[in-house]
Structure formats: structure tokens, C-alpha cells
Structure 1
């Protein structure tokens, strides 16, 4: 089976035999939420005829990733969980290619972690050449320009020097730091009553400009937890992926499917 090519301009050309691809994001897998993990694992364990030709994970697959060395042992329940995630992905990737784009929670997933999961890294953004059209893929956080505090934080933590210094810390210390950041995030959610509509959204002008530069008509992204389709004018559109939370009421676990008939959303949860 021929593999797609990813050139320096972050253009991913799909092989001619591909007929369908799937997109997911913002699963936020974590040891404390086993229900979402089980829904996700069942999705990965579908029979081969039910799968698309490739799976694209557009960020925040994991609630947090503090370094690839979390997979070095199974000394704790948390490490057993991360290993179970990697093993499930590795098994799936033996028959279906998996492409991973870092999110704001799992940007420290490195070469060894990707290898253990059987995933191939994607730049953010990447243009997917598929079905004779260009589809622009992004996690979406870099386009939330109004969230100035986060944009400053993002610029800091994406620096190689910052990442090296963080990964040089003991695993226990990194885990504690990540726990503190999650607690801050949860506090922010509580301050907005957990309503994503009150969070900063993707900037329309920035989204339109990114599409024009890429020569694409549709931007597909996650991050905002606001699944919807947005018309941007001039034939351009923005399609937002759903987050996953099988314990929520109502539960959420949605896949975006793309084939010759276009884009369609499929919920993995009972109606």
C-alpha cells in the first residue's frame, strides 16, 4: 500500500486508492474517565471493512502528555493507562494509517511516543489533498487570537528550549506541574459554567486568510468544543469537530467522515 507524502509546505497528498477518511479531536483521554476510553477503544476495534482509509487525530487526544517516558514502565495505574492507549493505537495502525496533530494538551508527544502509538506526525496546519480538493487541517488553538493570555502561553511552551527544560525535570515533578495546570483549566471552566460558547473562538479573518494561503475551501479543526459548520464567505467554510465525553449528559463522541459524498458527522453514542 502506497503512503501519502508530506512535503515541506505541509501538503499531505492522499494516495489515489483512498476513498474515505475520518477526523476526530479533543478526546482528552485520561485515567479518571474510563467511559470515554472504552468508547474510543471500541471505535478502534471496528472490523476492517467498517474503517475509513485513514484516521486523522487533530489534537488533544490526551488530556495531558508530560513526556514519552510515561510509557517506559507500568509502575502506576496512570502509566498502565497510557500504555493501554498506545497499544490500542498501535494495533489499529497496523491496518489503517493514523495521523496525529498536536493539540494544546499533548504537544509534548514526541518521536518515541508517536512510534509507540503507531502514529505519523502532522504539522499544524496541514493541507490535505484528497478527492481533487484541498482541505486545511488544524487543531485550531493558534487561530483563537482573542485569547491573548493563552496565545502568550502557547508561544512560550512551543519553544524547543522550554520543552527541553521541562522534559529534563523528573517525571513526578512534570506530573505535578501538569496536575496544577489542569486544575487551573478546570477552575476557568467553572467560572464560565462549563459553557464553551463563553470561551475564545477561532478568529474568522484568520481562518479565511489561512484557507486562502493554503488554496483550500474548508478548514477542519477542533479545540473549541463547539461542533458546527460556519460559512466564511466566498465559498469558504469552517467545520468544527466535537469533543468527546462519554460520561456527560448527553454523552459526546463524534466522528467526522469525508468521502465522495462530502462531510458527515457520526455519533458513536446511543441515540
Structure 2
């Protein structure tokens, strides 16, 4: 009962009540909705909690209880969030990592008036505080930031006629929507958007005949095939094989994750450069 009442008290007043002894201690339950594809999430959170305890931010009067579950795919994260909120009195969330799950959980968190911290969900539409009123994004790179940086580059070099080549991955399609909106607001002419299956090979991309459409319409091409640079290798290989890897074309690859040592696709498993793959990215802005 005390925990339920405490959750409804303004945080500042709550700390005063704890300081003067009216409330003996506050235990905050935080639900972490993670992703099996991201390594060591739970361990990192435990380390962060231990550091807060060493720094004296968490003590016997203010404690955090963590509950961690995996929750990406088929809305299992939404189910987990509802379970934790209604049955386990969780009053704050970290995650989910994936955009679709975060979309639903962040909307629910707004209705519940509980904070939710997003650390990987980078989709541009999460900026809308009317809808996602209690969401705080901690990711250093978001779709909003990428779109702003992209527009700045295009305007600086007076590149006003462009095409977009992208995969059909759901997250990429949503990112394209935000970029398209930003381009329109800045009077940059998007003459064509061409999509390819997210797992398409270079040979399949060429066989589709769609690269000819780009060749006939633009010389500046934005390439979006995933969150990592490595995801763009098939399309870049296809561009080179049809003769587009030349000074006549400029490719811009705005990508989310920046672990440069891991993401460079032209390095093999022994970190040795593969010249043929490196040539696929010549002339591209990464």
C-alpha cells in the first residue's frame, strides 16, 4: 500500500517525506524490457546500480529493484510491460529496444504517467511529446538527428535533386518517412524512392532493373539498408557492378550504429582489408 501511495506523490515531496522520516524507505521498481540481440544489457544495468550505490545516490532510504525481461518481437514487450505495471507495481521502464514495441509501451507509459527510458529506439516519430509524453531517449544517434545532419550536408553543397535507395525493413521504411518529410521542408527535390527486399543480394538488385531508374533520374543517392554500415554492402556492390561507382555519382549512407571497428564491411574476420569490398564504398559519404 505504501509503495502504491508513494508512486502517486510528487518526487520532490516524496524525498522530503523520506528525509524527515515520515516514509521510512522508498523502493522503486524498474522494469527493463531488453533484446536478446544486445549483449550484456542486464549486466550493464547491475553495474550502473552498483555505481549509484557507491556514489551515495542510492542508499537505505532510496533503493531500486530491477526486473529484466526480453521483449522484442510479436509485442511480447508490450505484454511484459502491462504485466509488470498492473501486477508487479513497476513504476518506471527502461526499453524496449525495438521501435514497434517501444511505440506501444511508450504510449501506455504516457497514459500510466510513468517514465520510460529509450536507449536504442531511434525512430524519428518518438520526438512527439504529445503522444510519447513520458519518454526520454538516451540514444546518442536518432533518426531525427540523422535527418537534420543529412539536410545540412545537402544544403551546404547545394545538392537539391536526389534519389533514395532503401530496403523494405520496417524500421528503415519508418526512417525514410521522417527523412522525406525533412527534405520536403527544406526544398530538396526527392525525385525517386526505390525499394529492395532487405535480404536481396547484389545480383538480385541488379536483376530487378530498378538501378536504371536511379541512373536516369539522379546523381545523388541516399542509401538506407539497415542500422549498420555492413547492411549496405549488397546495394553498394550492385552500384559498382552496373558502373555507378564513379565520380558521376555520390552516395550518402546515414547509418545509426557507430562501432567503427566492427561495422567496416571491407575487413574480414582477421581485420584484414578486402580491396574488392572496399572498392564498393569508394566515393561514398559514410
TM-score if structure 2 supplies the norm length? 0.30
Whichever of the two has the greater Rg, that structure is: 2
Higher helix fraction (1 or 2): 2
